[in-house]
C-alpha cells in the first residue's frame, strides 16, 4: 500500500493526537503522499515504563482489522499479540458458568493491548519518510481561518506555532481541536456522562504461570445494575473491568465492606484475584467516568476535520470504540480516492457519510450495557439469540443477527440497526400470528368441550395467559 501517490506531496497535513486513530491516520495519509506532521501531547510511549491515561482493554473485530490490513500491520498484531475470544462466558452468582458463542460460524473477536497496538502504529508511521512525529506538543490554541496552531511543551512550557493545509483532530473525547471548532457557528455538539463508572483490576496468572480461567472467552459477571468483565492478556493475566454506579463505588469504604460486596456478587472472582490484591488494587484506584460525545458536522470547510473519539466518543460496551475510529480512517481514505483528493469535496462528504453511522454506534454502545449487565441472564434473550442463529442458518443472506452485522462485517452501523428493526417486525408479526392461531385453537376446543359460559370463561383465561407469556418475548425481540 505504501507510496500510492506523490501528487499530494505539496499538501501538509497536521494530525493532532498520536493515539490509535491518529497514528493510523498518519500512516494512511503518508501512503497517499501527503506531508504529514503527527503531534502528541505526551512523551513517546515507546520510551515510557508506564503510559499515563485510561485504558480499557480492546476487543478488535473486522472493522479495526480491515484498517490495520490497509497499512500492512494486521498480521503482525493478530498473529503475535492478539488472543481470540470466540464466545461470552457468563458467570452466575452461584459460581456456575455458561458460554454464549458470538455466532454460528465460530467467528471471534480479539483481545489486544492498547499500548502494543499504538506502538506498532507509531513505528509504522515513522517508517514513512513523509511523516514527522512531534512529541510533547500540546495544542493550546488554533485559528481555523489561518490554519495556524500553537503548541506548548507540557514540561518546559515553551510554545511554537505551526501551520498546515489540513488539520485533523484525533485527540480524543476531550478534543482541543473540537473545542476550537465549537467557537465557530454551525457545529452541533452534545456530551453525556453516564451515572456509572469503571475501575480496572487484575486476575494474575495462576501458580503455574497459566491462565486462571479458560482464555478464549470474554468473561462477564452480569449483575443487573452493575457488572464485571475480563479480557485475556499475553502474559496470561486478565484485565478485569468493574462497572457500576458511582454511589456503589463510594459505598465500599472499607476492606470488610468490599469483601462482603464481592462475596455477594462475585464470589468466584475472589480467589482468582486474591483477597489481598483485590483490597489493595481497589483502594489504590477510584471509579472513573465514562462519556458519550456526539457532534456534527465533523469538518470546517476544507481546513479541519475530526476523527475517532474527537467526533464520536462512546461508552465501551459494544467493543466498537477503537474499531469505529479505525474505520473512520478507512472511510476518509476511500473518499479521497472517490473524489480525487479534492478536500473541499472530501471533508463535507465524509461528514455526511459518517455521521449517521457514528451516532448509531454511540447509541448502540449505550444500549449494549443493558444487555451485557442484565439481559444475558434472561431466558428470552437467550431464546432470541438461538432464534437469530437458526434463522441465519436458513436464510444466511437475508437474516443476520445485529451483533454479527456490527462486529463481523463493515455494514454501515445505521443500516445494521435498520435491518435489525425489519427483522424485529417480522418476528412481531410471526409471534402475533402464532398467538392468534393458538387463541383460535383454544376457542374451538373450549366450544366443543363445554357450554357457552364455560367457553367464554375459558377463552378469556386462555387469551390472558397466552398474552402474559408472550409479552416478555415480544418486549425482548425489539431490543438491539
pLDDT at 395 over 50: yes
Whole-prediction pTM = 0.86
Residue 427's pLDDT band (cuts 50, 70, 90): confident
User: E strands within 126-259?
Assistant: 131-134, 138-143, 148-152, 159-163, 166-169, 188-203, 217-223, 226-232, 238-245
Helix axes 379-394, 452-477, angle to 10 degrees: 80
Q: How far apart are CA 124 and CA 81, in angstroms?
A: 16
pLDDT at 251 over 70: yes
Could you read off the pLDDT of 18-33 as tens digits, one per residue?
A: 999 999 999 999 999 9
Of 178-187, 298-307, 391-400, give the lowest mean pLDDT range. Answer: 391-400
* Higher-confidence position of 5 and 104: 104
Q: What is the pLDDT of residue 383?
A: 73
Amino acid at each position: 500500500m505504501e507510496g500510492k501517490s506523490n501528487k499530494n506531496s505539496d499538501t501538509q497535513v497536521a494530525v493532532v493526537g498520536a493515539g490509535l486513530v491518529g497514528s493510523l491516520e498518519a500512516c494512511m495519509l503518508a501512503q497517499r503522499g501527503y506531508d504529514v506532521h503527527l503531534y502528541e501531547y505526551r512523551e513517546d510511549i515507546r520510551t515510557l515504563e508506564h503510559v499515563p491515561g485510561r485504558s480499557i482493554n480492546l476487543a478488535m473485530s473486522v472493522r479495526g482489522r480491515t484498517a490495520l490490513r490497509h497499512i500492512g500491520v494486521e498480521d503482525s498484531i493478530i498473529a503475535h499479540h492478539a488472543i481470540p475470544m470466540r464466545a461470552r462466558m457468563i458467570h452466575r452468582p452461584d459460581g456456575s458458568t455458561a458460554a454464549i458463542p458470538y455466532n454460528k460460524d465460530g467467528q471471534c473477536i480479539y483481545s489486544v493491548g492498547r499500548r502494543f497496538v499504538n506502538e506498532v502504529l507509531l513505528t509504522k508511521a515513522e517508517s514513512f519518510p513523509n511523516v514527522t512525529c512531534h512529541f510533547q506538543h500540546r495544542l493550546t490554541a488554533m485559528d481555523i481561518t489561518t490554519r495556524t496552531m500553537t503548541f506548548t511543551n507540557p514540561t518546559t512550557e515553551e510554545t511554537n506555532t505551526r501551520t498546515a493545509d489540513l488539520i485533523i483532530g484525533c485527540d480524543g473525547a476531550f478534543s482541543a481541536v473540537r473545542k476550537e471548532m465549537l467557537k465557530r457557528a454551525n457545529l452541533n455538539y452534545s456530551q453525556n456522562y453516564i451515572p456509572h463508572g469503571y475501575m480496572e483490576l487484575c486476575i494474575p496468572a495462576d501458580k503455574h504461570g497459566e491462565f486462571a480461567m479458560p482464555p478464549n472467552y470474554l468473561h462477564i459477571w452480569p449483575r443487573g445494575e452493575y457488572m464485571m468483565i475480563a479480557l485475556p492478556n499475553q502474559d496470561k493475566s486478565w484485565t478485569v473491568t468493574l462497572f457500576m454506579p458511582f454511589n456503589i463505588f463510594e459505598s465500599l469504604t472499607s476492606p470488610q465492606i468490599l469483601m462482603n460486596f464481592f462475596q455477594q456478587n462475585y464470589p468466584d472472582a475472589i480467589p482468582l484475584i486474591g483477597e489481598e490484591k483485590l483490597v489493595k488494587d481497589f483502594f489504590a484506584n477510584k471509579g472513573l467516568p465514562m462519556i458519550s460525545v456526539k457532534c456534527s458536522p465533523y469538518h470546517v470547510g476544507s481546513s479541519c476535520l475530526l476523527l475517532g473519539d474527537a467526533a464520536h466518543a462512546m461508552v465501551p460496551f459494544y467493543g466498537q470504540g477503537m474499531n469505529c475510529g479505525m474505520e473512520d480512517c478507512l472511510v476518509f481514505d476511500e473518499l479521497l480516492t472517490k473524489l480525487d483528493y479534492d478536500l473541499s469535496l472530501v471533508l463535507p462528504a465524509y461528514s455526511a457519510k459518517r455521521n449517521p453511522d457514528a451516532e448509531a454506534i454511540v447509541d448502540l454502545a449505550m444500549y449494549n450495557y443493558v444487555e451485557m449487565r442484565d439481559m444475558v441472564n434472561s431466558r428470552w434473550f437467550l431464546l432470541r439469540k438461538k432464534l437469530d442463529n437458526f434463522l441465519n442458518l436458513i436464510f444466511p443472506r437475508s437474516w443476520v443477527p445485529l451483533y454479527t452485522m456490527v462486529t463481523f462485517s463493515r455494514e454501515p452501523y445505521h443500516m445494521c440497526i435498520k435491518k435489525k428493526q425489519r427483522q424485529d417486525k417480522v418476528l412481531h408479526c410471526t409471534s402475533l400470528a402464532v398467538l392468534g392461531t393458538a387463541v383460535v385453537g383454544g376457542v374451538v376446543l373450549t366450544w366443543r368441550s363445554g357450554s357457552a359460559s364455560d367457553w367464554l370463561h375459558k377463552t378469556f383465561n386462555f387469551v390472558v395467559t397466552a398474552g402474559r407469556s408472550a409479552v416478555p418475548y415480544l418486549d425482548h425481540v425489539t431490543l438491539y
